[in-house]
Structure 1
């Protein structure tokens, strides 16, 4: 997991913020109450204990990695492009299903 986060951070610093990180207007953010792997920043989910537990359930070790703070502004989907073996489509689908069940 550490290698994947380091690669993600390095790519993020080199390339800049991916399009998925474009700032969302507050009104649009308020309209979307649910989290998802393609639009919600990792940091937002890490700040919610229930969402954090879901991430940890499907990608063990990600939320406790010492370098996770470097990925807080990215989405899980954005991280996937840098580490497709560690963050798979199946994991993202399972995460999204569990996140959809949150209130």
Structure 2
């Protein structure tokens, strides 16, 4: 198992990990520096990914999540 469990991992934990940021930035350049993302730091990653589902296809979200969970 990787270092992240999206049910309990907060967005801020992902943003504090350079490897996780690299995964996110590779797919979505500039996203981790957006003010709205900073406001979500205390939110569970599961919830943040649920909110993103309205903007990003589920297959893409699943791929990003799998990559982050494999770290």
TM-score in terms of structure 1 length:
0.52
Q: 1:76 aligns with which of 42, 45, 70?
A: 45
Which has more radius of gyration? 1
Matches within 5 A, 1:10-89: 34-89=3-58
TM-score in terms of structure 2 length:
0.67
What's the RMSD between the two structures over aligned residues? 2.5
8 A Cα contact 2:12 2:42, kept in partner: yes
Ranges in structure 1 where 5+ consecutive residues have no aligned partner: 1-31
Per chain length, whose mean CA-contact separation is higher, i.e. which structure has more relative contact order (CA < 8 Å, sep 6+)?
2
Are 1:101 and 2:70 matched, yes or no?
yes
